[in-house]
């Protein structure tokens, strides 16, 4: 049996143990009254808050019950926020506004995170500075252009039109320097996230090298941020992979080993279901494949000799939130399965049991026709994401089906989050104000069962890697995508403004399309050429040195931090591809 | 057009035709429309195109799918070689104005301006972009929300007939450009008879067969890599087969998983079986004759995934045959039923990393020894870079 089969077992055992506690309350009167006392104690400790209308409320909403069986089911089966198995949230307070002055200050984690990347590095840098005017802490999230995502230089054959489109063009360490210029890279209130996978180790190496240039080597352990680097989902859904899977996983392991040892604040991998959902996965497929990929990475890093309690807390997750009913409780189930699996199948301690989740509202749910409805879609999805206690969230801009979002719609998307978290009273005054409805509980149960069934299926196929090679997840996702399209076509899946309440007007909406001009693209090429010329004498030697490390099985990431000083992204991927081959796409 | 006809004259003048077609009779009859679909370079969004491909195929079209992250050169080369009536591009990652325009330019440059171009990109292609692209020669841009039906109907109407067909006087020769050769193959595929066959042929032909999922396409691509690096001026052709569905459509997807065969020195053609059982098409022998006369050093024929009883290569269709197997064929008893194990010159056990690979190799070796025909067994792991097993296979193939 694979580790996934073991996860299914421990979750089932956990559920049985919760039921056993529930039954015990019925026959063991002492246990029942003990539990009741504990429950009262918990309630008594909850502080009150007076909201602007003058009414007072508890800061944490608990089920209104005095029944020991229900108390047991809640405390053992769901846990208080911040307690195992974390169904109600990874932390105690999540989005709560700071308690009144005079009381102990609670640290607020700013959950808003906006994805940006356009044109050249300096353009994105400007956008970052613009965006962070609206944020209390600086958390940058970076999108890269197509050539960068595929590890190609801007001067590669036939990619000119793609330079700076849909994300920022990064070819060299100098571009990386421009990208985050004037931001305090080592500051504890600054973090950066990079959405990059195939060439992730190279881009992160550039980031580390830039930080080293600007702040000296002692900044490295202080760097905070995330690099997506989730190669399994690339094979399963997103298709941005450069090297064969085995080699890609080796480069990933090297990077994770390095960050685990020397960059303890870094999240070296963001295990992502978002792209699966965007490619057509159902909510359950998304969640099940993402968690199973997570368990596969854990197994892989452990086999590398890394301690689950050191790398475990640095794993984070990234899921889509759309409008399907499952999203009412999807993240709640994920937190539970991850915590139980990590504790009972992998022996992980509490910090490594946390399913730290970044959510993005669904891009696929946004459409072009009557596109301003997208504002409503995103708002509804945001509500679901926060009701699921996501740790951070990105809200899509309404104009995203057309273009890299314009500033107007980026602002509206950011404000949507502020309206929910700061203007509305649903999240800032009371923790768990929306959790625990009968419907939410039912969705939890059904989703959990379906996810375990998926785990079982993957286990039968020989585990995540074997199933991936068999194209199992990929073909399941494709089949789901096909079904989704058919449902839109035949109207069983209503899309307002498209197959229902469609207005006759067909003119295309006036949105400001953001494109990168020819001149800018050319400027990037010129810079790259200058870089290559300047480093001509050292680049070959640096690449040879890298090749040696690859061939003798050394840590490739540690070497890349030096390689990027003299070599461009494209030069490095080309040399690595010579050594390990190129990824062979599957249908 | 002009360049094309010049080349035709040139080829006739310098190479006396050794092979001719009777007439143009069948070229324009109602055959399935062939399309090439692809996703542009630096773009991995294949979800939309996969859905559209399925719909096209279901509605009777033959779709050669090139896959995602493909360059303009790869797209145009493939469309010409496949004699596609049109190219369908699905672009979601920006840069579409440049990419579509570049495809049009490259088609013209290669004398293939008759191949239509259409595409879509959800909302990423704006109405203004579409107007501009149509002015430049793109036939249609489908916007988000276009029903699949509308796309199928457009394609069936717009590309109902080929603009340019095979010229009766064309004959396959080493001087033939991809476009002219592709038209010859279309004529051969559509049933035109060949006459004289009289030249000295130095073309080596290799037949590759095996069950679906054994790794035939990957192996062929790896052979292509080795061929290209050891024959710096050599030319390789691949004739690949995929099954047609009941409704006449077919998804020809072998190109999508190939990396190294995307090269100007490789000519690849995908054939749908069009109702013919047994692993190849009725036209395979005719197409193979065309390729033999077109001056390739090596021609590889790949069958569809075949069952136990299949013997796809009738006597002397190819010089050498390879059966590719994966270790999971089941019990030793199943092995006794595989007809091709008696006929193949080379038997490859691929996926040597799978559990049971050693046992499989041993069982198959015994089976081959029992035949006493000097058949060779080669164990490979085609997915591994520079796999020594594939090196062995390549040596055997070229020996």
pLDDT, one tens digit per residue, over A283-336 is 999 999 999 999 999 999 999 899 999 999 999 999 999 999 999 999 999 999
How many CB pairs lie under 8 A apart between chains A and B?
A: 130
The reported pLDDT for the residue numbered A500 is 92
Mean pLDDT of B88-111: 94
CB contact under 8 Å between A481 and B124, yes or no, is no
* B188 min Cα distance to partner chain A (Å): 29
From chain B, pick out residues whose CB is under 8 angstroms from the CB of A573: none
Element (H, E) at A477: helix A472-490
Report whether A435 contacts A383 (CB < 8 A): no
Across the interface, of B44, B73, B97, the residue whose CB is closest to A238 is B44
Share of chain A above pLDDT 70, in %: 95
CB contact under 8 Å between A581 and B69, yes or no, is no
CB contact under 8 Å between B41 and A165, yes or no, is no
Place of tokens 């395979």: B284
Q: What is the ipTM of this complex?
A: 0.88
Question: Confidence band (pLDDT; 50, 70, 90) for A114?
Answer: low
Task: Tell me how far apart the terminal alpha carbons of chain B are, to the nearest angstrom.
Answer: 41
Cross-strand pairs, B378: B348
Cα angle value A78/A43/A66 (rounded, 5°): 70
Mean pLDDT of A371-394: 95
Question: Confidence band (pLDDT; 50, 70, 90) for B21?
Answer: low
Across the interface, of B96, B123, B256, the residue whose CB is closest to A368 is B123
Q: Decide if pLDDT at B20 tops 70.
A: no
- The residue that leads in pLDDT, B56 or B174, is B56
CA distance B60 to B274: 11
Mean pLDDT of A506-510: 56
Q: Decide if pLDDT at A584 tops 70.
A: yes
From chain B, pick out residues whose CB is under 8 angstroms from the CB of A585: 67-69, 256-257, 259
pLDDT, one tens digit per residue, over B77-98 is 999 999 999 999 999 988 999 9
Angle between helices A556-563 and A200-215 (to 10 degrees): 60
The reported pLDDT for the residue numbered A70 is 96
Q: Decide if pLDDT at A452 tops 70.
A: yes
CB contact under 8 Å between A367 and B145, yes or no, is yes
Q: Decide if pLDDT at A102 tops 70.
A: no
- The residue that leads in pLDDT, A436 or B13, is A436
Share of chain B above pLDDT 70, in %: 87
Q: Decide if pLDDT at A133 tops 70.
A: yes
The reported pLDDT for the residue numbered A30 is 97
The reported pLDDT for the residue numbered A228 is 96
Question: Confidence band (pLDDT; 50, 70, 90) for A506?
Answer: low
From chain B, pick out residues whose CB is under 8 angstroms from the CB of A118: none
The CATH code that applies to domain B29-158 is 3.40.50.280
Average pLDDT, chain B: 88
DSSP H stretches of helix in A56-115: 68-72
CB contact under 8 Å between A508 and B127, yes or no, is yes
* Region at B356 (left for phi over 0; alpha for psi -120 to 50; beta for the rest): left
pLDDT, one tens digit per residue, over B235-282 is 999 999 999 987 789 999 999 999 999 999 999 999 999 989 889 999
The alpha carbon dihedral of A560, A563, A569, A575 has a sign of negative
Across the interface, of A489, A513, A585, the residue whose CB is closest to B148 is A489
Distances (CA, A) of B74 to A85, A375, B67, B80: 52, 40, 10, 10
CB contact under 8 Å between A584 and B259, yes or no, is yes
Instruction: Identify the CA nearest to A447 among candidates A275, A286, A273, A233.
Output: A286
Mutation choice for B interface testing from A145, A150, A151, A161 by most B CBs within 10 A: A161
CA distance A320 to A336: 18
Task: Look up residue A435 and give its DSSP letter.
Answer: -
* A105 min Cα distance to partner chain B (Å): 45
Question: Confidence band (pLDDT; 50, 70, 90) for B199?
Answer: low
Q: Decide if pLDDT at B2 tops 60.
A: no
CB contact under 8 Å between A157 and B257, yes or no, is no
CB contact under 8 Å between A478 and B221, yes or no, is no
Q: Decide if pLDDT at A536 tops 80.
A: yes
CA distance A415 to A395: 9
Question: Confidence band (pLDDT; 50, 70, 90) for A49?
Answer: very high
B266-272 and B140-142 strand pairing: unpaired
Average pLDDT, chain A: 93
pLDDT, one tens digit per residue, over A18-36 is 999 999 999 999 999 999 9
CA distance B127 to B172: 44
Cα angle value B221/B223/B226 (rounded, 5°): 115
Question: Confidence band (pLDDT; 50, 70, 90) for B6?
Answer: very low
Q: Decide if pLDDT at A12 tops 80.
A: yes
Cα angle value A516/A518/A522 (rounded, 5°): 110
From chain A, pick out residues whose CB is under 8 angstroms from the CB of B386: 581
Q: Decide if pLDDT at B374 tops 80.
A: yes
Domain chopping of chain B, boundaries: 29-158, 201-398
* A508 min Cα distance to partner chain B (Å): 7
Q: Decide if pLDDT at A108 tops 50.
A: no
The answer for residues whose C-beta is within 8 angstroms of residue A538's C-beta and 6 or more apart is A565, A566
- For B201-398, the fitting CATH number among 3.40.50.300, 3.40.50.1820, 3.40.50.2300, 1.10.10.10 is 3.40.50.300
Q: Decide if pLDDT at B59 tops 70.
A: yes
* Region at A437 (left for phi over 0; alpha for psi -120 to 50; beta for the rest): beta
Q: Decide if pLDDT at A551 tops 70.
A: yes
Instruction: Identify the CA nearest to A269 among candidates A306, A334, A304, A317.
Output: A317
Question: Confidence band (pLDDT; 50, 70, 90) for A107?
Answer: very low
Angle between helices A121-131 and A407-418 (to 10 degrees): 30
Distances (CA, A) of B178 to A14, B182, B205, B365: 65, 6, 19, 41
User: Quick one: three-class SS letters along A501-544?
Assistant: CCCCCCCCCCCCCCCCCHHHHHHHHHHHHHHHHHCHHHHHHHHH
pLDDT, one tens digit per residue, over A241-295 is 999 999 999 999 999 999 999 999 999 999 999 999 999 999 999 999 999 999 9
Across the interface, of A159, A482, A585, the residue whose CB is closest to B41 is A159
Mutation choice for B interface testing from A364, A498, A585 by most B CBs within 10 A: A585
The reported pLDDT for the residue numbered B163 is 74
Element (H, E) at B99: helix B96-109
CA distance A92 to A383: 19
The reported pLDDT for the residue numbered A414 is 87
* B291 min Cα distance to partner chain A (Å): 27
How many CB atoms are located within 10 Å of the residue B305 CB? 18
Place of tokens 């360490």: A173
Q: Decide if pLDDT at B167 tops 80.
A: no
CB contact under 8 Å between A585 and B43, yes or no, is no
A315-321 and A269-272 strand pairing: parallel
CB contact under 8 Å between B145 and A369, yes or no, is yes
Six-digit token string for A232: 């399994």
From chain A, pick out residues whose CB is under 8 angstroms from the CB of B40: 162
């Amino acid at each position: 049996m694979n580790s996934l089969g073991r996860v299914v077992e421990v979750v089932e055992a956990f559920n049985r143990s919760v039921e056993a506690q529930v039954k015990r309350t019925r026959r063991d009167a002492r246990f029942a009254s003990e539990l009741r006392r504990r429950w009262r104690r918990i309630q008594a400790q909850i502080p009150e808050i007076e909201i602007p209308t003058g009414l007072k409320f508890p800061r944490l909403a608990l089920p209104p019950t005095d029944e020991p069986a229900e108390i047991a089911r809640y405390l053992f089966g769901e846990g208080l926020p911040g307690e195992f198995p974390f169904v109600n949230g990874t932390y105690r307070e999540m989005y709560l506004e700071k308690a009144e002055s005079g009381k102990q200050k609670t640290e607020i984690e700013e959950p808003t995170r906006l994805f940006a990347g356009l044109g050249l590095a300096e353009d994105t840098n400007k956008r970052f500075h613009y965006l962070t005017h609206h944020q209390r802490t600086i958390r940058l999230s970076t999108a890269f252009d197509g050539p960068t995502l595929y590890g190609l230089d801007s001067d590669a054959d036939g990619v000119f039109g793609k330079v700076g489109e849909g994300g920022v063009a990064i070819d060299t360490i100098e571009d990386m320097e421009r990208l985050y210029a004037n931001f305090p890279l080592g500051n504890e209130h600054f973090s950066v996230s990079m959405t990059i996978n195939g060439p992730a180790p190279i881009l992160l190496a550039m980031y580390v090298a830039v930080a080293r240039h600007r702040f000296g080597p002692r900044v490295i352990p202080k760097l905070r941020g995330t690099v997506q680097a989730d190669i399994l989902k690339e094979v399963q859904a997103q298709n941005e992979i450069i090297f064969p899977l085995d080699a890609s996983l080796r480069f990933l392991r090297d990077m994770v080993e390095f960050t685990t040892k020397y960059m303890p604040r870094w999240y070296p991998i963001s295990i992502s279901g978002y792209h699966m959902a965007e490619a057509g996965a159902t909510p359950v497929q998304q969640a099940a494949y993402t968690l199973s990929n997570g368990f596969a990475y854990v197994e892989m890093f452990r086999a590398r000799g890394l301690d689950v309690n050191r790398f475990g807390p640095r794993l984070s997750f990234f899921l889509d939130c759309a409008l399907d009913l499952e999203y009412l409780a999807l993240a709640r189930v994920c937190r539970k399965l991850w915590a139980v699996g990590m504790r009972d199948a992998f022996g992980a301690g509490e910090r490594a049991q946390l399913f730290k989740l970044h959510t993005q509202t669904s891009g696929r749910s946004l459409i072009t026709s009557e596109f301003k409805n997208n504002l409503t879609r995103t708002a509804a999805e945001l509500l679901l994401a926060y009701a699921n206690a996501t740790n951070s969230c990105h809200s899509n801009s309404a104009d995203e089906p057309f273009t890299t979002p314009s500033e107007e719609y980026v602002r509206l998307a950011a404000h949507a989050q502020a309206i929910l978290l700061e203007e509305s009273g649903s999240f800032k005054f009371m923790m768990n104000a929306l959790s625990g409805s009968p419907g939410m509980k039912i969705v939890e149960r059904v989703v959990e069962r379906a996810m375990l069934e998926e785990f079982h299926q993957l286990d039968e196929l020989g585990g995540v890697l074997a199933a991936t090679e068999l194209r199992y997840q990929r073909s399941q996702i494709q089949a789901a995508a096909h079904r989704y399209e058919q449902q839109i076509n035949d109207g069983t899946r209503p899309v307002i403004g498209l197959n229902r309440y469609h207005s006759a007007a067909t003119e295309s909406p006036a949105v400001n399309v953001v494109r990168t001009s020819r001149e800018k693209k050319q400027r990037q090429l010129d810079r790259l050429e200058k870089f290559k010329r300047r480093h001509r004498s050292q680049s070959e030697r640096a690449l040879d040195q890298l090749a040696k490390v690859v061939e003798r099985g050394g840590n490739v990431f540690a070497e890349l931090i030096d390689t990027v000083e003299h070599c461009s992204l494209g030069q490095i991927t080309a040399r690595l591809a010579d050594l390990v081959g190129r990824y062979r796409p599957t249908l | 057009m002009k360049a094309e006809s010049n080349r035709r004259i040139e080829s006739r003048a310098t190479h006396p035709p050794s092979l001719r077609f009777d007439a143009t009779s069948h070229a324009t009859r109602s055959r399935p429309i062939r399309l090439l679909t692809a996703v542009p370079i630096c773009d991995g969004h294949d979800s939309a195109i996969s859905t559209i491909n399925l719909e096209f195929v279901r509605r009777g079209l033959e779709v050669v799918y090139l896959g995602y992250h493909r360059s303009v050169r790869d797209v145009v080369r493939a469309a010409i070689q496949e004699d596609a009536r049109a190219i369908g591009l699905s672009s979601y990652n920006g840069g579409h104005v440049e990419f579509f325009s570049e495809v049009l330019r490259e088609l013209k440059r290669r004398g293939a301006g008759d191949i239509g171009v259409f595409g879509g990109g959800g909302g990423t292609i704006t109405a203004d972009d579409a107007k501009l692209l149509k002015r430049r020669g793109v036939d249609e841009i489908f916007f988000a929300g276009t029903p699949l039906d509308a796309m199928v109907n457009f394609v069936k109407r717009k590309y109902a007939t080929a603009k340019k067909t095979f010229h009766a006087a064309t004959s396959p020769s080493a001087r033939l450009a991809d476009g002219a050769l592709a038209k010859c193959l279309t004529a051969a595929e559509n049933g035109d008879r060949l006459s004289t066959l009289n030249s000295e042929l130095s073309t080596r032909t290799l037949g590759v067969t095996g069950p679906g999922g054994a790794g035939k396409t990957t192996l062929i691509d790896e052979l292509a890599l080795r061929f290209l690096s050891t024959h710096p001026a050599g030319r390789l052709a691949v004739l690949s087969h995929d099954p047609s569905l009941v409704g006449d459509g077919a998804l020809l997807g072998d190109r999508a998983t190939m990396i190294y065969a995307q090269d100007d020195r490789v000519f690849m053609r995908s054939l749908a079986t069009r109702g013919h059982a047994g692993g190849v098409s009725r036209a395979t022998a005719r197409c193979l004759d065309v390729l033999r006369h077109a001056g390739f050093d090596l021609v590889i024929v790949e069958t569809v995934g075949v069952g136990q009883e299949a013997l796809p290569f009738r006597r002397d269709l190819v010089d050498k045959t390879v059966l590719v197997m994966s270790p999971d064929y089941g019990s030793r008893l199943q092995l006794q039923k595989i007809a091709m194990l008696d006929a193949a010159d080379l038997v490859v056990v691929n996926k040597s990393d799978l559990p049971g690979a050693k046992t499989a190799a041993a069982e198959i070796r015994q089976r081959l020894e029992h035949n006493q025909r000097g058949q060779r067994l080669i164990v490979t792991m085609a997915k591994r870079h520079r796999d020594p097993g594939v090196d062995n296979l390549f040596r055997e193939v070229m020996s």
